[in-house]
Structure 1
Amino acid sequence: MNYTHNFLLFFILICLSGYSQEKTAGPIIENYGKVWSIENPDFKTDIAADFKVVFDIMNSPESHTEINKSIETAARFLNMHAKGGVPHAQLKVALVVHNKASKDIIENKAYETRYGVSNPNYDLVKDLMEAGVEVILCGQSSKSRNFPKEDLISGVQVSLSAMTALIQLQNQDYRLIKF
């Protein structure tokens, strides 16, 4: 090979190296929430700020064996900001769950009784709560969809309504993210 071929091969390998990077989970939620590492972004993350966010979770996949990607977004939020240099202590996350997503935060036994399989979101929700995420179920959805407190994953809180929880959290300076 001549110099031109070597340079071209080197250039191609350098270009492809940026594309070969894989999304990874962690460091906060190890098994969920894979994100890309972003090197030297132009819009800098304020790593000294507190990030208080509430996710409005109302939709759920039709499949009873599929993880709710909206819930996994909380894991992505935690992991990407930790990878970006924001200390875990500065990340305050809450999920307000209602409507069709109510089923995604029930214990495996209750889920199996209703749908014939284990809750695919169980481990994700437990990992999020262990990382300090508040999971709040709309009391109205609990009643209308027949998900009593005893069927919920341990640690899930019940509120008067999703609207009430969303207002109160926003009054505490949480920022609403709804996908």
Structure 2
Amino acid sequence: MKAVLSAIVLALGALGVSTVALPSQAQAQTVVGHGAFTALPDAGEQPDAGRDYKVILDVAQGGPDDKPLKSLDRVARLTNLLEAGGVTGERRKIVAVLHGGATLATLSDAAWAARGKGEVNPNSALIRALLAAGVQVRLCGQSMVANGLTPADLEPGVQVDTAAMMTVIHHQQAGYALIL
């Protein structure tokens, strides 16, 4: 994997594409410690500070019990990319809806520990950071029930909806772009 990434960086450099990170990327991040990216100032399709972004991300894939979900880190990356591009929180309407294999990522640390998965849910700090950045984190109620969870088991701030399908449908009908 490192060899492939090195080859891509070399190829981009040969094409004259800048892969220099932002001068103060950590300061530009809204979701600090997650959602890393490489600034590509000469690439097309940059964030537009004058545009409203309405996005719903479908998060269904689970992951290992010792790392945050890749899909949640992707939500952080989108948030950080927009922030670094000058898109303010008022112009960012981002919703992450979790279901299926991603359901347990929404557990509080206490509920995670009670399930014997370890002392700390590796997703809880990321979920708190996403919520603090203005991202709505929603959980499919059907997945919650299927996994034997209650709202009291969840990280504070996670909203429970009847079904992920309803959340996606309603947001798409309201003009949100769906990212799978």
Matched, 1:105 2:106: yes
| Aligned partners of 1:32 and 1:76 also within 8 Å | yes
TM (norm. structure 1) is 0.83
Q: How many residues align?
A: 163
Give CA deviations for 1:75-128 in whole Å, capped at 9, x if unaligned: 100111121232232111001110110100110011011113310010000010
In structure 2, relative to structure 1, the CA distance for the partners of 1:45 and 1:118 (3 Å cut) is closer
Q: Alpha-carbon deviation of 1:169?
A: 1.1
Q: Partner letter of residue 166 of structure 1?
A: V
| Structure 2 CA distance for aligned equivalents of residues 101 and 167 of structure 1 | 19
Corresponding residue number in structure 2 for 1:92: 93
| Structure 1 CA distance for aligned equivalents of residues 122 and 164 of structure 2 | 23
Q: Which moved more, 1:24-33 or 1:132-141?
A: 24-33
Corresponding residue number in structure 2 for 1:162: 164
Corresponding residue number in structure 1 for 2:6: none
| Aligned partners of 2:89 and 2:134 also within 8 Å | no
Q: Which moved more, 1:78-87 or 1:141-150?
A: 78-87
Q: Which moved more, 1:118-127 or 1:46-55?
A: 46-55
Mark the runs of 5 or more structure 2 residues left unpaired by the alignment.
Answer: 1-12
| Aligned partners of 2:46 and 2:85 also within 8 Å | no
Could you say what secondary structure the match of 2:167 adopts? helix
Q: Alpha-carbon deviation of 1:22?
A: 4.6
| Aligned partners of 1:102 and 1:147 also within 8 Å | no
How do 1:55-66 residues align onto structure 2 when only pairs under 5 Å count?
55-61=57-63, 63-66=64-67
Pick aligned residue for 2:138 from 136, 139, 154: 136
Q: Percent identity?
A: 30
Pick aligned residue for 2:52 from 45, 50, 53: 50
Corresponding residue number in structure 1 for 2:4: none
| Structure 1 CA distance for aligned equivalents of residues 97 and 105 of structure 2 | 12
CA RMSD of aligned residues (A): 2.1
Q: Which one has a bigger Cα radius of gyration?
A: 1
Matched, 1:78 2:76: no
Runs of 4+ in 1 over 6 A off after TM superposition: none
